[in-house]
């Protein structure tokens, strides 16, 4: 079966790209084209300028490239049709193709799934493809391209090799259990397990940074009513995005917007000012504010400099003294003076946020995992390794320890796809867009 789908974004564009993959793609697609070459004369990786015809009826002038099995994105024989970027043309071409009995519409992520199934990339790299497409900041771009290039996969292979080495020691001793051999002392083996656990823990700890590289820094704007939270949101965005009035309790809902600072994405949440109120809507807004405070990587506690409040917020907090155009204040080092009215201090605040949550000079490291699936698998692997260690310490025989170790290895293999169940694989690719 050949799969086909629009691979470029839907809508009007300069060019649209339709991708096909599967056995006999070239022969099948050629039926629709006016190119003169015979099938065996077709050259791979060359752009052919040709008409696309449906039962002799002209649809569009297109260019087409053919890719040889083993040398395409999917690893299968493939083709890409570049037509004028009109949704009508795309629809006509796809409708014509789908009439063919051995061509069907591709499922979301199916081209990349084939690439994975054909061994051209592992699951971690396939997941990086979707992260790359979704990346909204330089940081997200860097972490996904590094993962795509195989940086993380390489590191995981090293852990895998460590575990396999341990397994082989245990298995060897099992084979020669009856003979008078010098066995590796238990504490040497548990020592090796400890080292593996330590390495995996470095990845687990790296998740915090990896998540910020990929998803950005969650910034909550909180404080009393009327202190200028919404004004600060607008100042960050340099636009009149949210409503600002001198009426206390203007904002009732949580509003999220994004900006990029030094390559990092800031996800900024404007919230309802916190006060005692009888208003049902405002109270709902206030409980949402409290939830956002809990989830945030950093809380900007906005304070009206003309009337500073004594409230304190828990967590990672920067105190932001606003309205300093009206009144100057003395502040400590974990505070910032700003005026949303004049714009003073806003740039400094942006950098302070990034510096506070993640070192501005920080470079990406392969162990900054960003995917919660990977995090959970690594945690599971650690607990299975701890189990193996316990079995050794309890004096269990090698068979038992080997079973524990085998489990840890299988769990680890779920990250790169060696031991991942089909359900999970389908789930991962199902979240891709069609045509990718």
- Binds 64, which of Mg ion, ligand GTP, none (CB < 5 to 8 A, cut-off by type)? none
- Binds 50, which of ligand GTP, Mg ion, none (CB < 5 to 8 A, cut-off by type)? none
CB 75 within 8 A of CB 115: yes
Q: Tokens standing for 431?
A: 């979240």
Nearer to ligand GTP, 177 or 248 (CB): 248
For residue 153, give every residue at least 6 positions away whose Cβ sits within 8 Å of its Cβ, in sequence order, or none.
122, 124, 125, 147, 416
Q: Which of 36, 182, 246, 312 binds ligand GTP (CB under 6 A)?
A: 246
Q: Binding to ligand GTP by residue 345, rule CB under 6 A?
A: no
Q: Binding string, 228-257, against Mg ion, x = CB under 5 A?
A: -xx-------------------xx------
Please identify, among the stretches 172-180, 288-296, 337-345, 410-418, the one whose residues bind ligand GTP according to the rule CB under 6 A.
337-345
d(CA 203, CA 415): 13
Residues found in the chain: 436
Residues 42-101 contacting Mg ion, CB under 5 A: none
- Binds 325, which of Mg ion, ligand GTP, none (CB < 5 to 8 A, cut-off by type)? ligand GTP
Nearer to Mg ion, 89 or 254 (CB): 254
d(CA 81, CA 232): 48
Q: Binding to ligand GTP by residue 250, rule CB under 6 A?
A: yes
For residue 380, give every residue at least 6 positions away whose Cβ sits within 8 Å of its Cβ, in sequence order, or none.
411
Residues 92-121 contacting ligand GTP, CB under 6 A: none
Please identify, among the stretches 172-180, 201-209, 220-228, 368-376, the one whose residues bind ligand GTP according to the rule CB under 6 A.
220-228
Min separation Cβ 354 and Mg ion, Å: 24
d(CA 109, CA 432): 5
Q: Tokens standing for 128?
A: 């990086």
- Binds 384, which of ligand GTP, Mg ion, none (CB < 5 to 8 A, cut-off by type)? none
Q: Binding to ligand GTP by residue 226, rule CB under 6 A?
A: yes
Q: Binding to ligand GTP by residue 230, rule CB under 6 A?
A: yes
Residues in binding contact with Mg ion, number by CB under 5 A: 4
Min separation Cβ 274 and ligand GTP, Å: 8
Nearer to ligand GTP, 135 or 339 (CB): 339
Q: Give the DSSP letter of residue 33.
A: B
Say which residue the tokens 């920067």 belong to.
318
Q: In what order do the strands lie in the sheet with 335-337?
A: 255-261, 264-270, 217-223, 298-304, 317-322, 335-337
d(CA 185, CA 241): 67
Question: How far, in whole angstroms, is CA 57 from its chain's centroid?
Answer: 44
Which string of DSSP letters, residue by residue, matches 233-291?
HHHHHTS--S---SSTT---S-EEEEEEETTEEEEEEE-PPP-----HHHHHHHHHHHH
Say which residue the tokens 């391209």 belong to.
145
Min separation Cβ 238 and ligand GTP, Å: 15
Q: Which helix (H) or strand (E) holds 171?
A: helix 151-175
Min separation Cβ 346 and ligand GTP, Å: 10
Neighbours of 320 (CB within 10 A): 29
- Binds 403, which of Mg ion, ligand GTP, none (CB < 5 to 8 A, cut-off by type)? none
Say which residue the tokens 């009035």 belong to.
245
Helix axes of 110-117 and 422-430: crossing angle, nearest 10 degrees? 140
Residues in binding contact with ligand GTP, number by CB under 6 A: 23
Q: Binding to ligand GTP by residue 153, rule CB under 6 A?
A: no
Min separation Cβ 227 and ligand GTP, Å: 4
Nearer to ligand GTP, 229 or 389 (CB): 229
Min separation Cβ 308 and ligand GTP, Å: 14
Helix axes of 138-149 and 151-175: crossing angle, nearest 10 degrees? 40
Q: Binding to ligand GTP by residue 251, rule CB under 6 A?
A: yes
Residues 297-336 contacting ligand GTP, CB under 6 A: 322-323, 325-326
Q: Which of 104, 107, 202, 341 binds ligand GTP (CB under 6 A)?
A: 341
Min separation Cβ 233 and ligand GTP, Å: 8
- Applying CB under 5 A, the residues found at the interface with Mg ion are 229-230, 250-251
- Applying CB under 6 A, the residues found at the interface with ligand GTP are 225-231, 244-246, 248-251, 272-273, 322-323, 325-326, 339-341
């Amino acid at each position: 079966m050949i799969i086909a789908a629009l691979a470029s974004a839907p809508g009007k564009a300069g060019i649209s790209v339709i991708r096909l993959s599967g056995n006999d793609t070239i022969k099948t697609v050629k039926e629709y084209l006016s190119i003169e070459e015979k099938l065996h004369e077709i050259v791979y990786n060359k752009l052919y300028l040709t008409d696309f015809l449906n039962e002799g009826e002209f649809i569009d002038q297109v260019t087409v490239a053919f890719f040889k099995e083993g040398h395409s994105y999917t690893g299968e024989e493939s083709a890409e049709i570049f037509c004028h970027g009109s949704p009508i043309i795309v629809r006509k071409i796809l409708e014509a193709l789908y009439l063919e009995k051995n061509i069907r519409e591709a499922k979301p992520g199916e081209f990349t799934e084939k690439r994975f199934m054909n061994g051209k990339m592992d699951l971690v790299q396939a997941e990086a493809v979707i992260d790359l497409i979704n990346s909204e900041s330089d940081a997200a771009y860097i972490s996904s391209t590094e993962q795509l290039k195989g940086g993380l996969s390489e590191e995981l292979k090293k852990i895998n090799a460590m575990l396999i080495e341990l397994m082989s020691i245990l298995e060897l001793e099992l084979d020669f259990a009856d003979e008078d051999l010098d066995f590796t002392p238990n504490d040497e083996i548990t020592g090796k397990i400890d080292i593996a656990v330590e390495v995996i823990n470095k990845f687990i700890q790296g998740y915090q940074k990896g998540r910020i590289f990929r998803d950005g820094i969650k910034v909550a704007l909180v404080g009393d009513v009327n202190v200028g939270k919404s004004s600060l949101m607008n100042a960050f965005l340099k636009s009149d995005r949210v409503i600002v009035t001198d009426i206390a309790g203007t904002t009732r809902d949580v509003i999220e917007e994004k900006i990029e600072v030094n390559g990092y994405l800031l996800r900024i949440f404007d919230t309802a000012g916190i006060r005692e109120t009888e208003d049902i809507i405002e109270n709902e807004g206030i409980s949402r504010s409290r939830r956002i405070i809990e989830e945030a990587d950093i809380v900007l506690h906005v304070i009206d400099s003309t009337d500073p409040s004594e409230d304190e917020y828990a967590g990672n907090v920067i105190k932001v003294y606003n309205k300093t155009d009206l009144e100057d204040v003395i502040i400590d080092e974990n505070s910032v003076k700003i005026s949303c009215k004049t714009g003073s201090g806003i740039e400094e605040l942006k950098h302070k946020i990034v510096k506070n949550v993640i070192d501005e000079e920080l470079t990406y490291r392969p162990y900054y995992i960003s995917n919660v699936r990977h995090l959970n698998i690594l945690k599971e692997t650690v607990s299975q390794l701890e189990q193996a260690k316990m079995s050794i310490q309890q004096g269990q025989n090698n068979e038992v320890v080997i079973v524990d170790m085998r489990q840890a290895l299988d769990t680890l293999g779920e990250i790169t796809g060696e031991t991942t169940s089909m359900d999970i694989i389908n789930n991962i690719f199902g979240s891709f867009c069609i045509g990718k």
